[in-house]
Structure 1
Amino acid sequence: MTDTVFIVIAVFRPDPDFLATQLASIAAQSHRAIRLVAVIADLTSAPLVEKLCGDVGIEAPHIHVPDETLDAVRAFEAGLSEALLLAPPESAGRAFFALCDQDDTWHPNRISRGLTALRESGADMVHSDARLINDAGQEIAPSMFDFERRDRNPGLRGLLYRNNITGMTLIMRRRVVEIALPFPPQSGVHFYHDLWLGLIAAALGGVKLLPEVLVDYRQHGANAIGAVDRSDAARPGLWRRLRGLNAMWLRREAASYALARYLAQSLEGRLAEVSAAGGLSHGAAHIKPLRPYLARRRGGTTFLFDALRFATKKQYGLARIASGFGLVHTGRLVWALRRSLTQGMVESLTGFDVRLYSLSPGMPPRHPVLEKHEPARSVKFEGLVDLRKRPRWRPEFSASLPRLTVLVPTLNPTEIFAGILTAIDIGVGLAERGYPVRFIATDLPMSSPSASRAFVLRRQSVGASAEVAGRITLHCGVQSETLPAHRDDLFLATAWWTAHVAQELITTQGYKQRRFYYLIQDYEPNFYAWGPEYADAVASYALPFEPIFNTRLLHDFMREKGYALGTGTPLCFHPAIDIARYSSGERPRRIGPRRLALYGRPEVPRNMYAMAIEVLARFIEAEGLGPEDIELISVGLSHAPVSLPNGLTLQSLGKLPWEEYPGFLRTLDFGLSLMYSPHPSHPPIEMAASGVRVVTNGFGPKDLSRLSPAIISAAPDVMALTEALRRAWAMGPVAEEERRIDLRALGLPPAEMLDLLAGRLATDLPGHIG
């Protein structure tokens, strides 16, 4: 029987010439028994792939078009799942799997050399070196390993310091794929499929490196991750590296350490599951090198020894990573220890006396002995004022054309929530309409610039041209001393402090545009108690800007409060909720107690978690409900289970994966989702479209019951909400027509708003490339 290699390629808005070259190199492989599995991650490129496969002689490609657009990680996950289905279990010893990027070129012996090495070494995975080329096919570097200074034999733990496996060079055995699927969940893309697959293989039969070049890796502007030059010429000087050892460096190290720990624990859990199911014999997997990540308390010294070992081998980049991991690991233990202990005796007694004297007589006594102590050290003003309002970079007016500059607090995928996502979508939408767009992260450094860029580019509309990506740039305003700029740049602020940043840049740096655009998505002063943040948020609404309102409700609320709303007709758009995603699915038939879900976010005051718990308790008592009548679930943010009357418990599921969310909602009968704000939160609308009868609260002009009879809106007080929940309980199931929600009552569709905004920018942003 011939060894069959299943080649998985992920296709997302490809350059047709690059894709044709790649497919031709697959067709020219010296090993002929191949089966191509193409995942059409952009949902539109299937005809192109079929045509090109026919042109180069690839027979019977398996084309998989998913239900929604996929990033690279999920596309390869879907492709490997499809490949497993094509490879019958009885062929396990003769079925192998390889990964392929859409714009590289394979050497003719890429597959045959990998198969030979797998047989001879007994490893579970083989990967090779690659040559770097540019768009035109010209050589950038003869070896990716040398270019990136990769460790050629990192071992299992070393993969978590810096992955040396490039997915498009690997070939692996079937059991690696079977154990690796499904990939561990993640929000955004902070680890890639090749690392997870490599960890699985390294824990099993091992990973072998072929030192020869078997692939040409094409480096260009649209790479999902790209190669990183770590040559001496590209490395910053010693002084710059030392300056970089600050709180931001520590934050990056903490993020990297957290990812490594997450993957190590995911690997241990996955192997334990497979062993328990009989898929692995005892001792077949070896994860001892990962003990520093798996131990709850120990392990810090291992990282430090690794750092010394790397330093003696002059692998200083890896030494820095290992020492950073050791520092974070140790800091984690110190933090936990401090939290577990009380304050020292003197500090505790002093603190108690301060509170005691504040009651009577109202001030501490004068004590001559204590007053002879050294005066308290002065504190820096930076620790007392809100530096978010000031730009941390200087503009360098070197850009060749003006851009719309979108100021967002963060560009890290795991920290991006609905508000920032809306701002990103506006920027990307304007790039699709011909405007060059610059995103600047104002508050937090980018943990992975390539992951951030990939995340932003995934927000493009289906069918967007390849030119759009070239109009979008991402920059870190936290770590960069200067950023490229043009005198005619136009700013879009996305939170009250970024509005102050925009205004300071305009007034102090000589920008010609005197007004900025301001994306207003909530009444932000109400996020704070009366104080400086409240005052600064209010002050942002007095700056010279043109507003863009997330819903007409918020516009009406601001108008009622007497705020000036720009020089023209304000733009108002409705939430970008895909109603069909929720309303089109069929609700499953269920037996047993009815299910109620609370949108529970204890850390977010405007979601009124405590009030929602009180409402649930009163509702249960009033209706006399028990475990046989109702099941209570909380989604949003994780919290401890809550004991409620009559033996009921509210169990928290935390944040649900995006792809599972609609299916979960369709299993619910009732919802309780509160938002003490003029902004309409998404959950009540998503629940109603899913066939859930949901109770929410009104606020000023907000009354979501106008959108659908499935939504019951009540005054934001305990008794009114309890009565609303009792009415919902007595009502019948949600009818199909109640699930069809027209969001135009809340504003323009986002695309129409972007069309209007693009028209206005034609005069505000000269020199655009529409």
Structure 2
Amino acid sequence: MRAAVADDPRFLVSRSPGRVGFYRNFERALELAPPDARYVAMADQDDAWYPEKLATLLREIGDAQLVYSDARVIDRRGRLISDTYWSRRRNNHSDLLSLLVANAVTGAASLFRAEVLEDALPFPPAQFAHFHDHWVALTALARGDIAFVDRPLYDYVQHGQAALGHAAATRMPRLRSRLGALRRDRRERVRMWRLHYFVDGCRLLQYATILDMRCGPRMTRTKRRSLRRFLRVDRRASPLVRLALRGLRELVGRPQTLGAEWMLFRAFAWRRLLAASARNRPSGRLRMDAVPPPALDPQPGRRVPRDPAARTVAEKIAPLTLAVRDDAPPRVNVLIPTMELEHFFGGYIAKLNLARRLAERGARVRIVTVDPVGPLPRDWRRRLESYAGLAGLFDRVEVGFGRESQGLEVSRSDRFVATTWWTAHGARHALEALGGSRFLYLIQEYEPFTFPMGTFAALARESYRFPHVALFSSELLRDYFRRHQIGVYAGDAAAGDRESAAFENALTPIDPPAAAELAGRRPRQLLLYARPESHAARNMYELGVLALSRALEQGAFDGWSLHGIGTVGPGRRVDLGGDAELRLLPRSGQADYASLLRQHDVGLALMYTPHPSLVPLEMASAGMLAVTNSFENKTAAALGEISSNLIVGEPTIEGVAGALCEAEAASEDVERRVRGAAVRWSRDWDESFDDRLLDRLSSFLET
């Protein structure tokens, strides 16, 4: 462009230091309009202006603040789609409320007086899906009149990927479609009302508020009354009824606002229902989600299925919105699912410790969430920093909430670390947008095993085919990928070894037990790692309960106290048959968890995946005889190399029951238990991510 305009003084080329989106780009361009300009026309598009376009608009503007014309609609090959923009919808340029709820003035068609910018700039905050031409048209109509030239003065090129093209801007939902919507799930309909309230209702309330503040005193009485009546729709019933009546008008003849009033009626009705259903204490009869959606500016034109299950998947793997800036510092972005304290387990501690260690090595590190993040307690940072290795974490690393961001600032040199299968999808999309090659994939499990065989399992497996280098959370897990030729090991093993590394998740620090302490404990106590939640199916809660019941049938654990930990639900009791029961203990902090392990003699922690769960290793380090299961290369011999306190059974009821009976019989051998507490595994995160490993990771990230 600079070469095309050369030194022509009529042109000013101004490049933004980063991608700010079309809305903010138009704001920048309008701010650069010369102070002596009398009129302004916007031209960012590849539409074909007729030679007489500007001259005609200048002649027809008269006393109006803005004038715009009709347009022919053509496709990219120049073939005619429509000889008028208004083939399906009535034009409007005089009714302020109609223009507010449904824009009719396209920027490419318009020319306006430069004085309009006195009220139009700066543009309203862009937390919503705003359009520059809508705001300019509203400002012009608030200041005076808008004129229309009833013939095409340019050819509008309809692209399939246009932000808001002719087809979308003139589509009126059919009555059949509206009636069909009534058959949708009731919860889904209410969810859509909530979405429209925050995305559309609040957007228009913002526009109307700013318009009233800037132009209210100069509006005609009719326009001011119409605007302020709309501003009361969130608080009074009469404006809501007027919206419904205006919506009825759209069902007769050719529509003007495409039924926007109906959509807004449902949105504001949802708001009133929410207020009516609110109670001072929890209620089980009627509960409505009042939390705003994570994004108030959904991407225009993006096709998202209405089916709730399909939409959930689409939203989970949707690309993050990036704001690429030439002057942004290069960062290492560690992508994690969310910040949810209730489910903050060992895997999250590993992710955040990796971020800390990379930052300590001099990288500028940012933790980025890729799932919507709900309300966090005020002390969430302090609570996360209380876990092992994380003290002072947020003094070293940044935090970015990806789904709540209007655009995550990145440079073209940014690097990405994926930590789950869906963050791997996000890392791949980000690298494609930035022209990067591969990401670092922190793999702490073969994740298809964490879901039933279906969509999530298939997408998880796909993530290992994305270009990446791998960091495995144990040599056992790495060996599983090597044996099955997965991910970096899809080719030969030597190449996979070059493109991967392994570390050990640091165990929770537990003071080693003394023999006298173990010998004197009465009654003996068993601890089951009990996670009945569906997301933890790999921990085989049901098999553990059945195996424990079978061991009790065989006479084991007579007189023992039986406990369970791991559930995120409230404490309760589990009937094991006969008079026996297992008491599930409530979730505790890391220090209390370590103390709890030292109070027990036998542990049961199952994991039906290749990764050696940390829980049986931590049980063993506390002097417990820890029963766990085998899985392919996770054999009794392999686990015995880690600790002699690990007792391994086949993942069957009889196999685990037999291992439990063996552990109960050996529980009095306190010398064995003390020796086995010296677990051959990392107990410190700086040891887990030592300098030698970080050198390899740095080389991975640099390439």
Q: TM-score, normalised by structure 2?
A: 0.53
CA shift for structure 1 position 580:
4.7
Letter in 1 for 2:580: L
In the alignment, what sits opposite 1:397? 325
In the alignment, what sits opposite 1:102? none
Match of 1:679, SS state, is coil
Contact 2:602–2:625, Cα closer than 8 Å, also in 1? yes
Share of identical aligned residues, percent?
28
**Greater Cα shift, 565-574 or 685-694:** 565-574
Structure 1: gaps (5+ residues): 1-235, 251-306, 309-320, 339-376
Q: Following the alignment from structure 2 to structure 1, what is the Cα–Cα distance between the partners of residues 360 and 277?
A: 44
Residues 1:613 and 1:332: Cα distance change in structure 2 (over 3 Å): same
Residues 1:324 and 1:473: Cα distance change in structure 2 (over 3 Å): farther
In the alignment, what sits opposite 1:31? none
Number of residue pairs matched by the alignment: 417
One of 446, 451, 462 as aligned partner of 1:523: 446
CA shift for structure 1 position 448:
3.8
Match of 2:670, SS state, is coil
Q: Following the alignment from structure 2 to structure 1, what is the Cα–Cα distance between the partners of residues 341 and 685?
A: 25
In the alignment, what sits opposite 1:595? 525
Q: Following the alignment from structure 1 to structure 2, what is the Cα–Cα distance between the partners of residues 563 and 448?
A: 37
One of 606, 617, 629 as aligned partner of 1:697: 629
One of 530, 536, 547 as aligned partner of 2:470: 547
In the alignment, what sits opposite 1:759? 695
One of 357, 381, 391 as aligned partner of 1:429: 357
In the alignment, what sits opposite 2:504? 574
Match of 2:583, SS state, is strand
CA shift for structure 1 position 720:
1.2
CA shift for structure 1 position 750:
5.5
Q: CA RMSD in A?
A: 4.0
Q: Following the alignment from structure 1 to structure 2, what is the Cα–Cα distance between the partners of residues 506 and 378?
A: 28
Residues 1:242 and 1:692: Cα distance change in structure 2 (over 3 Å): same
Q: Following the alignment from structure 1 to structure 2, what is the Cα–Cα distance between the partners of residues 752 and 384?
A: 35
In the alignment, what sits opposite 1:333? 283
Larger radius of gyration: 2
In the alignment, what sits opposite 1:737? 675
**CA distances 1:221-253 after superposition (whole Å, capped 9, x unpaired):** xxxxxxxxxxxxxxx969848999967999xxx
CA shift for structure 1 position 727:
1.2
Residues 1:450 and 1:764: Cα distance change in structure 2 (over 3 Å): farther
One of 620, 624, 631 as aligned partner of 1:688: 620
Contact 2:515–2:670, Cα closer than 8 Å, also in 1? no
Residues 1:653 and 1:683: Cα distance change in structure 2 (over 3 Å): same
Letter in 1 for 2:361: R
Residues 1:584 and 1:568: Cα distance change in structure 2 (over 3 Å): farther
In the alignment, what sits opposite 1:113? none
Q: Answer yes or no: is 1:501 the counterpart of 2:426.
A: yes
In the alignment, what sits opposite 1:708? 643
Q: Following the alignment from structure 2 to structure 1, what is the Cα–Cα distance between the partners of residues 425 and 315?
A: 10
Letter in 2 for 1:717: T
Residues 1:336 and 1:547: Cα distance change in structure 2 (over 3 Å): same
**CA distances 1:718-762 after superposition (whole Å, capped 9, x unpaired):** 111111111111113332222111116x9x975364523532455
CA shift for structure 1 position 705:
2.9
In the alignment, what sits opposite 1:232? none
Q: Answer yes or no: is 1:633 the counterpart of 2:583.
A: no
Q: Following the alignment from structure 2 to structure 1, what is the Cα–Cα distance between the partners of residues 372 and 281?
A: 20
Q: Following the alignment from structure 2 to structure 1, what is the Cα–Cα distance between the partners of residues 614 and 275?
A: 38
In the alignment, what sits opposite 2:244? none
Residues 1:431 and 1:589: Cα distance change in structure 2 (over 3 Å): same
Residues 1:688 and 1:734: Cα distance change in structure 2 (over 3 Å): farther
In the alignment, what sits opposite 1:419? 347
Q: Following the alignment from structure 1 to structure 2, what is the Cα–Cα distance between the partners of residues 248 and 470?
A: 38
Residues 1:613 and 1:473: Cα distance change in structure 2 (over 3 Å): same
Contact 1:551–1:574, Cα closer than 8 Å, also in 2? yes
Letter in 1 for 2:283: L
CA shift for structure 1 position 472:
1.6
CA shift for structure 1 position 592:
4.4
Contact 2:650–2:656, Cα closer than 8 Å, also in 1? yes
Contact 2:277–2:287, Cα closer than 8 Å, also in 1? no
Q: Following the alignment from structure 2 to structure 1, what is the Cα–Cα distance between the partners of residues 680 and 456?
A: 36
Query: Mapping of 1:278-357 within 5 angstroms?
Result: 329=279, 332-334=282-284
Q: Following the alignment from structure 1 to structure 2, what is the Cα–Cα distance between the partners of residues 533 and 560?
A: 23
Q: Following the alignment from structure 1 to structure 2, what is the Cα–Cα distance between the partners of residues 452 and 386?
A: 29
Letter in 1 for 2:359: A
Q: Following the alignment from structure 2 to structure 1, what is the Cα–Cα distance between the partners of residues 399 and 349?
A: 14
Contact 1:582–1:686, Cα closer than 8 Å, also in 2? no
Residues 1:381 and 1:713: Cα distance change in structure 2 (over 3 Å): closer
CA shift for structure 1 position 330:
7.6
In the alignment, what sits opposite 1:387? 315
Letter in 2 for 1:737: R
Q: Following the alignment from structure 1 to structure 2, what is the Cα–Cα distance between the partners of residues 426 and 378?
A: 38
CA shift for structure 1 position 645:
3.5
Match of 1:439, SS state, is strand
In the alignment, what sits opposite 1:669? 601
In the alignment, what sits opposite 1:43? none
Q: Following the alignment from structure 1 to structure 2, what is the Cα–Cα distance between the partners of residues 624 and 578?
A: 29
Q: Following the alignment from structure 2 to structure 1, what is the Cα–Cα distance between the partners of residues 354 and 196?
A: 28
Match of 2:585, SS state, is strand
CA shift for structure 1 position 554:
0.4
Q: TM-score, normalised by structure 1?
A: 0.48
In the alignment, what sits opposite 1:408? 336
One of 504, 510, 513 as aligned partner of 2:434: 510
CA shift for structure 1 position 584:
7.5
Letter in 2 for 1:390: A
CA shift for structure 1 position 432:
0.9
Match of 2:554, SS state, is helix
In the alignment, what sits opposite 2:399? 474
Contact 2:470–2:499, Cα closer than 8 Å, also in 1? no
Residues 1:712 and 1:485: Cα distance change in structure 2 (over 3 Å): same
Match of 2:452, SS state, is coil
Q: Following the alignment from structure 2 to structure 1, what is the Cα–Cα distance between the partners of residues 584 and 366?
A: 39
In the alignment, what sits opposite 1:314? none
Structure 2: gaps (5+ residues): 1-122, 131-191, 199-234, 237-270, 289-304, 489-495
CA shift for structure 1 position 649:
1.2
**CA distances 1:512-560 after superposition (whole Å, capped 9, x unpaired):** x310000000010011122111111111111110000001110011111
Q: Following the alignment from structure 1 to structure 2, what is the Cα–Cα distance between the partners of residues 381 and 701?
A: 35
**CA distances 1:13-34 after superposition (whole Å, capped 9, x unpaired):** xxxxxxxxxxxxxxxxxxxxxx
Match of 2:634, SS state, is coil
Letter in 2 for 1:726: C
CA shift for structure 1 position 394:
2.2
Q: Following the alignment from structure 2 to structure 1, what is the Cα–Cα distance between the partners of residues 647 and 578?
A: 26
Q: Following the alignment from structure 2 to structure 1, what is the Cα–Cα distance between the partners of residues 696 and 470?
A: 12
Contact 2:512–2:622, Cα closer than 8 Å, also in 1? yes
Contact 1:587–1:666, Cα closer than 8 Å, also in 2? no
Q: Following the alignment from structure 1 to structure 2, what is the Cα–Cα distance between the partners of residues 248 and 461?
A: 43
Contact 2:389–2:685, Cα closer than 8 Å, also in 1? no
**CA distances 1:294-346 after superposition (whole Å, capped 9, x unpaired):** xxxxxxxxxxxxx99xxxxxxxxxxxx9x9999665895245799xxxxxxxx
Q: Following the alignment from structure 1 to structure 2, what is the Cα–Cα distance between the partners of residues 249 and 593?
A: 60
Letter in 2 for 1:395: A
**CA distances 1:487-519 after superposition (whole Å, capped 9, x unpaired):** 011100000011011111111x123x3100000
Contact 1:635–1:654, Cα closer than 8 Å, also in 2? yes
Match of 1:641, SS state, is strand
